[in-house]
Amino acid sequence: MAITRRQFMQGLASVSAGAMLGPGLLMRAAEAAVSAEGSWKTTGSHWGAIKALVKGGKVAEIKPFEQDKYPTEMIKGVMGVIYNPSRIRYPMARIDWLKNRENSDRTQRGDNRFVRLTWDEALDLFYEELERVQTTHGPAALHHSTGWRQTGQVHSCGNHMARALGMHGNSVATIGDYSTGAAQGILPYVLGSTEVYSQGTSWPLILDNSKTIILWANDPVKNLQVGWNCETHESYEYLEQLKGKVADGSIRVISVDPVRSKTQNYLGCEQLYVNPMTDVPFMLGIAHTLYSENLYDKKFIETYALGFKDFIDYVMGETDDKVEKTPAWASAICGIDEDKIREFARLLASDRTQLLFGWAVQRQQHGEQPYWMGAVIATMLGQIGLPGGGISYAHHYSSIGVSASGASAPGAFPRNIDAGKEPKHPSMDYKGASSTIPIARWVDSILSPGEKIEYNGSEVTYPEIRMVVFSGCNPWHRHQDRNRMKKAYRKLETAVTIDFAWNATCRFSDLVLPACTQFERNDIDIYGSYSNRGLLAMHKLVDPLFHSRTDFDIFTELCRRFGRHEEYRRSMDEGQWLRHLYNACRDENQKAGFKMPEFEEFWEAGYVDFGAGKPWVRHADFREDPELNALGTPSGFIEISSRKIGRYGYDDCKAYPSWMEKAERSHGGPGSDKFPLWLQSVHPDNRLHSQMCESEEFRATYTVQGREPVFMGPEDAKARGIADGDLVRVFNDRGQLLAGAVVSDNFPPGVIRIQEGAWYGPEDASIGSLDTYGDPNTLTMDIGTSRLSQATSANTCLVDMEKFKGAAPAVTSFGGPIEVEV
């Protein structure tokens, strides 16, 4: 079945036929004649809005967008996202799957041997598999998912996949996300909304009113570099002002974190070291002090909250474990001196205090508890709804805290099947299994079909998933415990991935379709993320490289195979969708008094700015009138204890926030005698998850001997004879990896860091094989946070490490598949 040159040419022909669908739109700016000097185009990304110089059909230079006053280093990596040896060039199929399909030898998955296909062959195979699975097994056998797909509303690739597959048949849906699953589980019971994706109190009001700011497990200087839309980094202006206020002593900032964070180093603020995963005992000690020293706001609690007594009985040791949660008790677990706990509690109560929580602390076992406890402390302080007081769970994310302009954002290419239409295979027969599962439990579902788990007051029965389709996510970075995933993939019949980068998800797939990057298509998106500061024209910089195509084209052509491509794209091409979304947004905004020019004028200018929004205080309305502006909790009030959760009877999420020991925990906790080091896998300073890891020159700026860095403190390094720059093997009972040592004073004893998103590169396809590059999820644990949220527990993870001796295997993560012929 070797691909002939004729078939190859046919493949090419089908690409241009697809590209010619519908009437083309001539875009003056984008199509501007390419002169010798080239032309500057506007576009944007999660890393920032940018300008790109395009010369002779190639991107020659990237610079920040004129409205971005605090651009990130990461835009230096953008060019390498377009041009790199890991780009997917052609549709590819795993060799044994191509021969034997659902009866293939799945132990070969991961050996990276693939056969090149034409687009027609690949899309026929994709379609045949969908047909087979829907006809033979029904919707319970198909699962698809997306994630941090690149910016742009016309081409939002998850929507394209969901709509096309949804028009074909039903599938196993998911609830929650990897970012804030535990928060989304608990906070609706406590504060009435998930809080994490809501606008927060505006920075200027925090800067004017707060006397103390607590950064709790929060590194905004690192994490605000990327945004969900085209980021323009307005938050950094406020962080700069905060730095000034720390220096002149007008605001005291304390970072509660086991690690000296980038933000702490930037602000020059204090750190309060806490043992990993022991924030809850620390907080219980604070609550004990506030209560016993009468420093809490009784009136606020009476007016705005319920369930204080049940909680305080637990704190005072009158119920449950009958242990009084004194600062001395807390100190023994969290490692903070008991007097310091008291001092800290008094400081919080002494004046206006803003608590700013990050998310890593809920991405661990029982991750609901520190979030609930945070709300309880904020309630005891009585400052919720005041400027510069109360609690925020999102000021480190996507420009939250920068006032929203108030303008409307554009819509997107629809994700759902049109109203009134039915899928080709309308069956809703999930064969007794659930049609929706918590997002991080899909591997469990493959491994244990039919098993029942508890989830948020209900029961979930795992469906028997036989086929997965991923686009805009990289589960072989995102999900925990690689070797467990390998076992699950041995049960899976078919895995399809649509991506532009040949990452580990492609390596472990059966069929891989090359999408183009966002820089190879025209689009629009807002800039400023949550501030919705303006609308950005995303000019196509270059044509799709190699045989790649837009997700729009790929799924149009898939739908053509069952005769519904016109319905899919509503008979509009890219240019028509652009205008359609722009004009709808313009109409909305015109009504609200925001001026937007005609499309052509906007496209040429590259953006329209909506102006800065008005400062705003989160929960001020609730504070003003708790009856009229009741919270979305069962009672409408803040729920310090929750009767509803109590009725679920979960031992891992009780009726009030409580301390529960972890499955593994460093600093004397369970498992630390065998694996003494806590591995935290925080979000990368120099990537967006796994995106940009492929960018070669940029990667070389942070790798150590070509490997992902493992950060460690001098004591742990010395105890193991490890020096800065050494190759290190990091391991536990779940897996092993190679990484390069970076020894830094930012890390205390017992704490090491490997940033998530490092590309998995196993030495071979076997279970347990050494990861040659340093993906921390080779080592993490795949358990739910609790029965309430069933979210990820990536940050509950113990390991040990040693200096690597001998000949180091080459890194296998990059450079694409091994091309073979049938």
Ligand X SMILES: Nc1nc2c(c(=O)[nH]1)N[C@H]1C(S)=C(S)[C@@H](COP(=O)(O)OP(=O)(O)OC[C@H]3O[C@@H](n4cnc5c(=O)[nH]c(N)nc54)[C@H](O)[C@@H]3O)O[C@H]1N2
- How many other C-beta atoms can be found within 10 angstroms of the C-beta atom of residue 266? 18
Instruction: Say if strands 607-609 and 534-538 run parallel, antiparallel, or are unpaired.
Output: antiparallel
Q: How far is the CB of 178 from Mo ion (least distance, A)?
A: 6
Instruction: Compare residues 311 and 393 and give the one whose CB is closer to ligand X.
Output: 393
CB-nearer residue toward ligand X: 307 or 669:
669
Contact between 757 and ligand X (CB under 6 A)?
yes
Write the binding mask 371 to 410 for ligand X: x where contact by CB under 6 A, - elsewhere. -------------------------xx-------------
Alpha-carbon 721 to chain mean position: 35
Q: Does 471 bind ligand X (CB under 6 A)?
A: yes
Exposed/middle/buried for residue 304 (C-beta within 10 Å: 0-12, 13-18, 19+): buried
Query: 104: which 2 tokens?
Result: 């293939």
**End-to-end CA gap in the chain:** 5
Which of 511, 706, 678 minimizes the C-alpha distance to 90? 511
Tell me the closest approach of the beta carbon of residue 373 to ligand X, in angstroms. Answer: 12
**Smallest distance from the beta carbon of 108 to Mo ion, in angstroms?**
32
Cα 386–chain centre separation: 30
* CA atoms 257, 259, 262, 268: torsion sign: positive
CA distance 784 to 746: 30
The 198-217 site mask, x for binding ligand X (CB under 6 A), equals -------------------x
- In the block, residue with structure tokens 């012929």: 821
| Min separation Cβ 93 and ligand X, Å | 17
Shortest Å, Cβ 448 to ligand X: 22
Is 288 a residue that touches ligand X (CB under 6 A)?
Answer: no
Q: How far is the CB of 415 from ligand X (least distance, A)?
A: 14
When binding is defined by CB under 6 A, the residue of 125, 130, 277, 349 that contacts ligand X is: 277
In the bound state, the residue with its beta carbon closest to ligand X is 147
The residue range among 102-110, 469-477, 698-706, 783-791 that interacts with ligand X, by the rule CB under 6 A, is: 469-477
Identify what 359 binds: ligand X, Mo ion, none; CB under 5 to 8 Å per kind. Answer: ligand X
- Partner whose footprint covers residue 279, from Mo ion, ligand X, none (CB < 5 to 8 Å by kind): ligand X
Task: Decide whether 82 or 226 has the Cβ nearer to ligand X.
Answer: 226
- DSSP character string of 73-120: GGGGGHHHHHSSTTB--S-EEEHHHHHHGGGS-GGGTTS-EEEE--HH
Shortest distance (Å) from residue 688 CB to ligand X: 5
Contacts with ligand X in 156-195 (CB under 6 A)? 157, 178-179
Cα(282)–Cα(154) distance, integer angstroms:
47
Q: Which residue, 434 or 529, has its beta carbon nearer to ligand X?
A: 529
Residue 622 beta carbon to ligand X: minimum distance, rounded to whole angstroms? 25
Rank residues 183 and 191 by Cβ distance to ligand X and give the closer one: 183
DSSP letters, 285-354, are: HHHHHHHHTT-S-HHHHHHHEE-HHHHHHHHTTSSTT-----HHHHHHHH---HHHHHHHHHHHHHS-EE
Stretch that binds ligand X, among 22-30, 336-344, 734-742, 772-780 (CB under 6 A): 772-780
Report the alpha-carbon distance of residue 455 to residue 438 in Å, rounded: 8
> Which parts of this chain interact with Mo ion (CB under 5 A)?
179
Q: Which is nearer to ligand X, 116 or 478 (CB)?
A: 478
Query: Residue 683 interacts with ligand X (CB under 6 A)?
Result: yes
- Distance between CA atoms of residues 689 and 77, nearest Å: 13
Contacts of 681 (CB under 8 A, 6+ apart): 753, 754, 755, 756, 776, 777, 780, 794, 795, 797
Q: Does 549 bind ligand X (CB under 6 A)?
A: no
Minimal distance, residue 691 CB to ligand X, in Å: 5
Q: Which of 147, 185, 613, 748 binds ligand X (CB under 6 A)?
A: 147
Strands of the sheet with 142-145, listed across from one edge: 142-145, 467-471, 494-499, 511-514, 92-94, 113-116, 818-819
Is 109 near ligand X (CB under 6 A)?
A: no
Of the candidates 819, 820, 813, 818, the residue with the CA atom closest to the CA atom of residue 84: 813
Using rule CB under 6 A, residue 645 touches ligand X? no
Letters for 427-456 (x = contact with ligand X by CB under 6 A, - = none) are ------------------------------
Give 77 or 626: the residue with its C-beta nearer to ligand X: 77
Write phi, then psi, for 321 (nearest 5 degrees).
Answer: -80, 0
What residues contact residue 387 under an 8 Å CB cut-off, 6+ apart? 201, 205, 206, 208, 209, 617, 620
574 versus 756: smaller Cβ distance to Mo ion: 756
Tell me if residue 645 falls in helix, strand or coil: helix
Q: Is 794 in the site for ligand X (CB under 6 A)?
A: yes
Query: Which of ligand X, Mo ion, none sits in contact with 185, Cβ below 5 to 8 A by type?
Result: none
Residue 524 interacting with ligand X (CB under 6 A): no
CB of 201 to ligand X, least distance (A): 18
**3-class secondary structure per residue, 448-497:** CCCCEEEECCEEEECCCCCEEEEECCCHHHHCCCHHHHHHHHCCCCEEEE
Measured distance CA(664)–CA(750) in Å, rounded: 13
Q: Tell me the closest approach of the beta carbon of residue 310 to ligand X, in angstroms.
A: 26
96 binds, among Mo ion, ligand X, none (CB under 5 to 8 A by kind): none
Spell out the residues 6+ positions from residue 684 whose beta carbon is closer than 8 angstroms to its own: 755, 756, 757, 758
| CB neighbourhood size of 650 (10 A) | 17
By CB under 6 A, residue 472 contacts ligand X: yes
793 binds ligand X (CB under 6 A): no
Distance CA 621, CA 145 (A): 37
**Roughly what angle, to the nearest 10 degrees, separates helices 368-381 and 279-292?**
20
Q: CB-wise, 179 or 383, nearer to Mo ion?
A: 179
Q: Which of 331, 681, 736, 746 binds ligand X (CB under 6 A)?
A: 681
* Region 339-368 residues binding ligand X, contact defined as CB under 6 A: 358-361, 363
Near ligand X by CB under 6 A: residue from 274, 349, 437, 496: 274
CB of 363 to Mo ion, least distance (A): 9
Q: Does position 225 bind ligand X by CB under 6 A?
A: yes
From CA 757, how far away is CA 478, in angstroms rounded?
7
Told to check if 501 binds ligand X by CB under 6 A, we report yes
Tokens of 484: 């467990």
- How many residues does this entry show for the chain? 822
256 scored as a contact of ligand X (CB under 6 A) = yes
In the list 44, 77, 276, 367, the residue contacting ligand X (rule: CB under 6 A) is: 276
The least CB distance from residue 614 to ligand X, in Å, is 26
Query: What residues line the site for ligand X (CB under 6 A)?
Result: 147-150, 157, 178-179, 217-219, 222-223, 225-226, 256-259, 261, 274, 276-277, 279, 358-361, 363, 396-397, 471-474, 477-478, 498-501, 503, 515, 518, 551, 680-685, 688-691, 756-757, 776-777, 780, 794-795
